[in-house]
Amino acid sequence: MPRYRFEFMEDLGDETVEGIELQNDEEAHKEAVRCAREIMADGVMEGVDRTGWLSRVFDEATGRLVATVRFSDLLTKRPG
Amino acid sequence: MSNPFLLNLQRRDVITAPERAIIDDMTQRSRRVEAKRDIVEEGTMPTDSCLLLEGMAARYSVLDDGRRQITAVHVAGDFVDLHNLLLARMDHSVLALGDCTVAMVSHDFLRSLTTTHPHLTRLLWFCTVLDAAIHRQWLIASGRLSSVGQVAHFLCEMFTRLSVVELTEGFSFRLPLNQSELSDAMGLSVVHVNRTLQELRKRGLIRWHGDQVEILDWPGLVALAHFDPTYLNLESRPR
C-alpha cells in the first residue's frame, strides 16, 4: 500500500505525521478530513479555535501533493 | 509460569486449594492462535469459552461500510467470551492482536461448575461484571475526554490490568497494537492517533517503541487521563 505524509499547519508552527499506509489517494483525502474534524472537536473541548488550520497530504514515494484540507472549509453547513 | 486467570482472581478474593485445582484443570486444553487471526467469529455459536493465557486479544465489530470498531482489549487472564455461555450466538468477533494461547473451556464444564461451586460461579460472574465496568469507562473516556486524554486513559488501564497478571516490568509493558488497531479502539482516525501519541511523547509522559510502552511520568499520565482504578475492583474481598 502507498504511504502518505500528513502535514498540519497552524499559527504557532507545523507538525508532520509520516508513514501512514492507506489504500489510495481517495482514502488519504478522507483520512485528512476525518482527522481535521477530530482536531477541531478536540479544540472545542479545550476551548481552542482550530478552524484556521490547514493540512496537506503527500505521497511519500513521489512527493506529489495529494490533497489540501482547509479546516474552515469543513464547517460550511449551517443549522436549519 | 503463573496461571494468569488465577492471578486475576486471587487479586480480588481468596481462592481455596480445591478451587485452584479446578482452575488449573480449566486451562489444560489450549490452542495457539497466530497474530491477526480471529479467535472467535461473529455469527458462530461456540461450545467453548476462551480464556486468554498468553497474548492480547480485541473484541470488534465491522460496520456495513467496512469500518471496524474495537470495543474491548483483553489481556492474559481474561475470558474473551464468557458471556457466550448464555448469549449463545456471537454478536462480534475476537481477534488475536499478537500471537495468543487460549484455553478452551467447554460450556458443559462451566454449566456443571455453576451447580457445584457457587463461589467460583460468583467469580465467573464477577469477570463479566468487570468487563461491563471496563466498557462503561471506555464509554466515558470516548465521550468526555479529549483524544489525548482518551489514549492516556487506555494506557493507564492497560498498565494496571497487566500489572495484576505480572506482565509489567517497572513502568514498561508489551502492547502489541499497531496504530490502526489503536485508532479502531479509540474511534479516531489513524493520523489523529499518531498525532496524539506524538503529543504524549512531547509532554514526556510515555515512550512507545515497537510493541514496548514505557510510562515515564505515571502521575502526569493519570492526571491527564482522569484515571481512577476503582472500576477495576483491585481489592481482595469475599465475593
The CATH number assigned to the domain holding B92 equals 2.60.120.10
Q: Which domain holds residue B220?
A: 145-232
Considering only alpha carbons, which residue of chain A is nearest residue B145?
A45
Burial (Cβ within 10 Å: 0-12, 13-18, ≥19) of residue B19 = middle
Instruction: Provide the number of structural domains found in chain B.
Output: 2
With bands split at pLDDT 50, 70 and 90, how would you rate the model's confidence at B88? confident
Residue where one domain finishes, among candidates B115, B135, B155: B135
Is B238 inside any structural domain?
A: no
Q: Mean pLDDT over residues A25-44, rounded?
A: 94
pLDDT at B1: 62
pLDDT at B3: 93
Q: Mean pLDDT over residues B215-230, rounded?
A: 98
Q: Would you say residue B146 has pLDDT above 60?
A: yes
Report chain A residues whose CB lies below 8 A from the CB of B190: 20, 31
Q: Give the gap in angstroms from C-alpha B180 to the nearest C-alpha of chain A.
A: 9
The x, y and z cell numbers of residue B153, run together, are: 486513559
Residue where one domain finishes, among candidates B135, B156, B186: B135
**Among the listed residues B233, B55, B236, the one whose alpha carbon sits nearest the alpha carbon of residue B160:** B233
Is B237 inside any structural domain?
A: no
B69 and B164 together in one domain: no
Among B1-5, B24-28, B58-62, B130-134, which stretch is predicted with the lowest mean pLDDT? B1-5
Report chain A residues whose CB lies below 8 A from the CB of B191: 6, 17, 20, 31-32, 34-35
pLDDT at B205: 98
B201 and B99 together in one domain: no
Predicted TM-score (pTM) of this structure = 0.93
What are the E-state strand segments in chain A? Answer: 3-10, 13-21, 54-59, 65-70
Residues contacting residue A64 through CB under 8 Å, at least 6 positions apart: A58
Is B92 inside any structural domain?
A: yes
The predicted-structure confidence for B160-182, as pLDDT tens digits, reads as follows 999 999 999 999 999 999 989 99
